[in-house]
Structure 1
Amino acid sequence: MQATLTVTPAQLPDVLLHVAVVRPVFLWGAPGIGKSSLVRSFAESLGLDCVTLLGTQLAPEDLIGVPQIVADRSRFAPPETIARDEPYCLFLDELNASSPEVQKAFYSLILDRRIGTYELPAGSVVIGAGNRATDNALARPMASALINRMIHIHLRASVDDWLRWAAGSGIHPWIVDYLMQRPDHLWSAPPKTEEPFSTPRGWHMLSDAMHSYGDSLDDDTLAVLAFGTLSTSHASAFRAYVKTVRHAYDLDAVIKGDASWPRGAEDRDLLYFLSETFRARLMKGLPKSKEHASPAGHQLAFRAKTLLTELAEISLECAQLVIATDEDGAPVLPSWFLVEVSRDLPRLAAARI
């Protein structure tokens, strides 16, 4: 299912508070962005127990129960996890990954709040959740009858929401600081191959592992952890960032001239990270029009040309990364600066010989 409009984790509780209490809700979202934890937190805020059923682990009889004889008549007895006397939140996780037979068993539970003769207590909430087929996750098509029985909400990852949560949840400070600088690395699209990719859940797992090692965490171990929880490019960049923290290697020092670009082969990932950070700094600090540049903007542009020359001497690839276009082929740095770079770099390079 394609999302027309989406909500952030911070917006979701209010939506659920007004919608889920009157109609069943289905929550769509990519793997690892926090759907399950948000539903559990919502149930807790209402003072309700949250009963989670995983669609991939259910058979139809797990919902409708087994027949029993009562007063010479048979009836189905639903399982006690569902047949409760007090209101609760029934969370149908991975609903669209369940078999068609299990999905059919959910029909009356979702629409009529009933299984056989058992009816959910007044005040109960029914919420389903699942991944999209485009996420390369296990997902089966849902019948139109089931789709039409729920209100569909699409959740998207939000860096601001996650960082606010992380600040009070014990997430490792290196991870918090890194994602403040590279918010685009919080989440990456699931790959078509079997390999880790970046999600809020992945960063949380990495944080837990880093805390577990404590001060004994060395660079090689950090690499194992990062490459085991994040996408390859994000893991490499985060590892390089940690090097800057541990060795006080600051881009500001490079820009001011107090430090130089790292030249060692063992620091190539650090050089790549600093190049990406330098690119981001130029995108933020250079004005679109040279005429409207402040003195600080002019100074940054002048210093950037020298730094690009030095960077190209060490790695032409990293220098090209700084001035590269975006995925659509559009320049991300101001045109006037790119013109000056193409004009002045040969002269600057010659002057350094």
Structure 2
Amino acid sequence: MQAAITVTPAQLPDVLLNVAVVRPVFVWGAPGIGKSSLVRSFADSLGLDCVTLLGTQLAPEDLIGVPQIVDGRSRFAPPVSIARETPYCLFLDELNASSPEVQKAFYSLILDRRIGEYELPAGSVVIGAGNRATDNALARPMASALLNRLVHVHLSASARDWLAWAAGAGIHPWVLDYLLNRPDHLWTAPPKTEEPFSTPRSWHMLSDALHSYGDEVDDETVRILAFGTLTASHASTFRAFVKTVRNAFGLEAVLKGEANWPAAPQDRDLLYFLAETFRARLVKELSADKASASPAARQLAYRGKALLVELAEISLEVAQIVIASDDDGRPVLPSWFLVEVTRDLPRLVAARS
């Protein structure tokens, strides 16, 4: 299912509070963006136990139960995890990954809040979640009869929401500081090949692994952990970022003239990282209209042109990364800055020769 409108993790609890208490809700979203943890946190906020059923691990009898003979008649006895006397949150995780038979078994539970003779206690909520077929995750087409029984909400990853949560959740300082500088690296679309990719969940895993190793973790271990959890390009820049932290060497020092671009061959990953961070700084601080640019932004633009010359002397390829267009060929940096770069670079090169 494709999303026309999405909600952020910060918006989802309010939607669930007002909708899930009256109608079952299905939360769509890419792997690793926090669907399951958000539902469990929502249940905790209501003081409800959260009973999770994984669609990929269910058979129809796991829901409807098995027949028993009572007073000469047969009746189905639903499992004890579902048949509770007090209100709870029934979380149907990976619902759309379950078999058609299991999906069919959910019909009455979702629409009528009933399994056989058992009815969910008043005050219970039913929430489903699953990945989209476009995420290269296990997902089956959802039957129209089941689809029409749910209110559908599409969740998107939000760097702002995740960073606000991470600040108080014990996330490793390297991970937190890196994503404060590169929030665009929090999430990437799942690749078509079997390889790690960046999500809020994978950054959390990297944080846990770094905490486990402690402060003395060496560079090779950082490389192994980063490439084992993140998109390869993100892993490379994260490793370079850790080098800057450990050596107190960063973009600010370069901008202030307190340090030069790293030129040693063994520091090429660090050079790439600083160049990408420099590009992100220019994108963030340079306004589209030069007339509205602040004095600080004008100073950054002036200093930036000189730094581009210095960077090109080390690697023209890396310098081009700073001013490159996006994947669709559209300029990322303001046109006025690019015009000034084209105009002033020959003069700046001549001044350095």
Scaled by the length of structure 2, what TM-score is found? 0.96
Q: What is the CA-CA distance between 1:10 and the residue it aligns to? A: 1.2
Q: What is the CA-CA distance between 1:348 and the residue it aligns to? A: 2.8
Instruction: Report the equivalent of 1:43.
Output: 43
Instruction: Report the equivalent of 2:197.
Output: 197
Instruction: Report the equivalent of 1:161.
Output: 161
Instruction: Report the equivalent of 1:325.
Output: 325
C-alpha spacing 1:287/1:48, structure 2 compared with 1 (3 Å): closer
C-alpha spacing 1:156/1:290, structure 2 compared with 1 (3 Å): closer
Instruction: Report the equivalent of 2:207.
Output: 207
Secondary structure of the corresponding residue to residue 9 of structure 1: coil
Q: Does 1:176 align with 2:176?
A: yes
Instruction: Report the equivalent of 2:246.
Output: 246
Within 1, Cα distance between the matches of 2:15 and 2:37? 16
Deviation digits for residues 314-350 of structure 1 (CA, Å, limit 9, x no counterpart) = 1111100011112221212222322232233234334
Secondary structure of the corresponding residue to residue 216 of structure 1: coil
Q: What is the CA-CA distance between 1:300 and the residue it aligns to? A: 2.6
Within 1, Cα distance between the matches of 2:297 and 2:120? 64
Within 2, Cα distance between the matches of 1:168 and 1:13? 18
C-alpha spacing 1:297/1:149, structure 2 compared with 1 (3 Å): closer
Instruction: Report the equivalent of 1:273.
Output: 273
Q: What is the CA-CA distance between 1:292 and the residue it aligns to? A: 4.6
Structure 1 residue identity aligned to 2:28: W
Structure 1 residue identity aligned to 2:228: G
Within 2, Cα distance between the matches of 1:296 and 1:86? 60
Deviation digits for residues 209-243 of structure 1 (CA, Å, limit 9, x no counterpart) = 11111112111101111111110111111111111
Q: What is the CA-CA distance between 1:295 and the residue it aligns to? A: 4.3
Instruction: Report the equivalent of 1:223.
Output: 223
Within 1, Cα distance between the matches of 2:65 and 2:288? 66
C-alpha spacing 1:146/1:343, structure 2 compared with 1 (3 Å): same
Within 2, Cα distance between the matches of 1:189 and 1:337? 31
Instruction: Report the equivalent of 2:144.
Output: 144
Secondary structure of the corresponding residue to residue 241 of structure 1: helix
Secondary structure of the corresponding residue to residue 106 of structure 2: helix
Instruction: Report the equivalent of 1:286.
Output: 286
Within 2, Cα distance between the matches of 1:293 and 1:48? 51
Counting aligned pairs with the same residue, the percent is 80
Secondary structure of the corresponding residue to residue 163 of structure 2: helix
Secondary structure of the corresponding residue to residue 170 of structure 1: coil
Within 2, Cα distance between the matches of 1:112 and 1:144? 17
The number of aligned residues is 353
Instruction: Report the equivalent of 2:67.
Output: 67
Within 2, Cα distance between the matches of 1:297 and 1:23? 50
Structure 2 residue identity aligned to 1:151: V
Instruction: Report the equivalent of 1:117.
Output: 117
Instruction: Report the equivalent of 1:188.
Output: 188
C-alpha spacing 1:285/1:23, structure 2 compared with 1 (3 Å): closer
Within 2, Cα distance between the matches of 1:159 and 1:290? 28
Secondary structure of the corresponding residue to residue 258 of structure 1: coil
Within 1, Cα distance between the matches of 2:330 and 2:69? 72
Q: Which runs of 5+ in 1 are unaligned?
A: none
Name which of structure 1's ranges 313-322 and 341-350 shifts more when overlaid on structure 2.
341-350
Structure 2 residue identity aligned to 1:60: P
Deviation digits for residues 143-199 of structure 1 (CA, Å, limit 9, x no counterpart) = 100001111111111111111111111001111111111111110000000011111
The alignment's C-alpha RMSD in Å is 1.4
Deviation digits for residues 11-35 of structure 1 (CA, Å, limit 9, x no counterpart) = 1111111111111111111111111
Within 1, Cα distance between the matches of 2:195 and 2:233? 12
C-alpha spacing 1:282/1:75, structure 2 compared with 1 (3 Å): same
Q: What is the CA-CA distance between 1:280 and the residue it aligns to? A: 1.6
Instruction: Report the equivalent of 1:92.
Output: 92
Pairing 1:280-319 to 2, within 5 Å after superposition: 280-319=280-319
Q: What is the CA-CA distance between 1:291 and the residue it aligns to? A: 4.4
Q: What is the CA-CA distance between 1:122 and the residue it aligns to? A: 1.3
Within 2, Cα distance between the matches of 1:70 and 1:124? 28
Within 1, Cα distance between the matches of 2:301 and 2:338? 10
Secondary structure of the corresponding residue to residue 348 of structure 1: helix
Q: What is the CA-CA distance between 1:294 and the residue it aligns to? A: 4.6
Name which of structure 1's ranges 220-229 and 289-298 shifts more when overlaid on structure 2.
289-298
Secondary structure of the corresponding residue to residue 248 of structure 2: coil
Structure 1 residue identity aligned to 2:206: L
